[in-house]
Structure 1
């Protein structure tokens, strides 16, 4: 026998080995505007509180002016940079073998769930998401890490994805545990 020669029976061929890799699809372009609107609403609320405090406390002080200016500058930067950054990072993909997700902006996460482990597939959209024509998909598995969430997809994509995952999951003979 020579080195590299296999003397035993051939190795059993099992399911393909899944690789944690970047997913192929971006979220809907409208997600950028949605993320900007949500962030902007939060900054506007903070600004309103600061201005209300300024009016009720009476008098202009350097600290109050500095606080309002800082809020406006930080808010503008956040509303401008964050949606673009998230759009660049957030990705998803569903194949016959697995669902891949990548999300975050400072704290980025990449996850994979084999189709055989999928227990439920849900879609949802909140009131603000409805205004922007967006929906979300949640893929629940038996993982202790929790469900995979894909945010910021257009409604048609969500309907197709949920249908596809439902069919693929039903056709798969996995135990979903």
Structure 2
């Protein structure tokens, strides 16, 4: 799914970049710039999904949800169960095509929600149920 997303984004960037290079860049530089745009976008479309996959991690314990994400800048987050406010399941069109889903854990944190992307649909549904049960067992109002 991430490869298809990156491919679509790269295709749009190539079209815009090549057209811009051909229209606004003078002389022989335009073809060099157009080629650089194509090579750069194809490179990103190949490398970024693989890199993302190697970094993307998550874990649920009895007391917290742990996530790690980011292909360039890494983000590690820990959400104690006592801070969990909502647990959401979402599937965009590409995710549905591949049978995948995203689980979003909203917490009482200024840093925003934790997202676990690219989960198998059934795993995501079980995770939503598990997190909801675990968060319900913790005393407090998640604030």
| Partner residue, 2:124 | 158
In 2, distance between residues paired with 1:122 and 1:164? 12
Residue-by-residue CA offset, 1:79-127 (whole Å, 9 max, x unaligned): 1211111111110011111000000011100000110111100011111
Q: CA deviation at 1:176?
A: 0.8
Distance 1:45 1:94, change over 3 A: same
| Partner residue, 1:47 | 14
Q: Give the 4+ runs in structure 1 shifted more than 4 A.
A: 50-55
Q: Does residue 115 of the first structure (1) align with residue 99 of the second (2)?
A: no
Alignment of 1:53-92 (within 5 A): 61-92=27-58
Distance 1:103 1:53, change over 3 A: closer
Q: Once superposed, what is the RMSD of the aligned Cα atoms?
A: 1.8
SS at match of 1:173: coil
Task: Determine which structure has the larger helix proportion and give its number.
Answer: 2
Q: CA deviation at 1:175?
A: 2.6
> TM-score, length-normalised on structure 1?
0.73
Give the structure with higher Rg (CA).
Answer: 1
Unaligned runs of 5+ residues in structure 2 are none
Equivalent pair of 2:88/2:105 in contact (CA under 8 Å): yes
Equivalent pair of 2:90/2:103 in contact (CA under 8 Å): yes
Q: CA deviation at 1:54?
A: 7.2
Q: CA deviation at 1:48?
A: 2.3
Distance 1:50 1:107, change over 3 A: closer
In 2, distance between residues paired with 1:105 and 1:128? 20
SS at match of 1:106: coil
Aligned length: 141
